[in-house]
Structure 1
Amino acid sequence: MDLNRAKQILSSSADIPVNYNGVPIWIETVDESTNMATVTGRDTRDEPMPVPIDELVEE
């Protein structure tokens, strides 16, 4: 995924499925300076963790 798409998904009111390493996640924040996103698991709501935006996959 690219930075602009991650920002669009974050600001969208629609429920847009996104995965990280095959796990459904929510994008919580996007950091443009590091190209990282903070995500939480959709099903588990684990602790937020930073991941590279380019490793996120939109379904």
Structure 2
Amino acid sequence: MDIKRITEIINSPTMINVNYHGIPVYLQEVHAQNNTATIFPLDEMENKQVVDIEGLVELGP
């Protein structure tokens, strides 16, 4: 996924489904300078992680 799309998802008023290596996640913040994003799994909201954006996949409707 690219930086532009991640930013659109973060700013979207609706929930857009995103997985990180098959795990449903919430996108909190994008770090364009190093191609990473702050995420957390939907079932472990206290487990905040900074991950490479290459592992993020947007799911269809």
TM range (shorter): over 0.9
Indicate the RMSD between aligned Cα atoms, in angstroms. 0.9
1:1-59 pair list within 5 angstroms: 1-59=1-59
After TM superposition, the runs of 4+ consecutive aligned structure 1 residues lying more than 6 A away are: none
Instruction: Give the Å deviation of 1:46.
Output: 3.5
Task: Normalising by structure 1, report the TM-score.
Answer: 0.92
Task: Normalising by structure 2, report the TM-score.
Answer: 0.90
Q: How many residues are treated as equivalent by the alignment?
A: 59
Task: Report which stretch shifted further, 40-49 or 16-25.
Answer: 40-49
Calculate percent identity across the aligned residue pairs. Answer: 36
More helix by share: 2
